[in-house]
Structure 1
Amino acid sequence: MEQIAITRTVTVAAGPFAAGHLGELTRLVPFEMVDDVLAATRRTQRRVRLLPARVVVYLLLAGCLFADC
């Protein structure tokens, strides 16, 4: 019987934008997906500020998930 393993490679940001800095939510919603949505809605930023657009998206998602807390 032949076994097949499905693997996928996910690119993780480094430095202050690393997955650990944004929490486990980045494992479920990769930052590439967030960047694609920001680009599709034309909401990408022109320069990196203290609170980048990508981080705001994760903050909004976390707020929705933990609204009852």
Structure 2
Amino acid sequence: MCSHPSTCPPPTADGRVLAVPLHRRPEQGWTLLCNGVVVFDDDGELLPDGQVVLTRPWALAGASAG
């Protein structure tokens, strides 16, 4: 699967977006990670099983309630 030295987190793990990028398409707004997750510039994710993730809990950790 991955050929780099570190092990990528599985697509179901909370840290799945820390996997190594394989393909970047900034003009289209997405990046394919080595664990099969597609990360979109608008903070959405598409998991290999087709599940859509619309928010990233780790991105909201520093946000204040407004």
TM-score w.r.t. length of structure 1: 0.25
**Greater RCO between the two (CA within 8 Å, min separation 6)?**
1
- Indicate the structure (1 or 2) with the bigger Cα radius of gyration: 1
Q: Which has the higher helix share?
A: 1
**TM-score under structure 2 normalisation?**
0.25
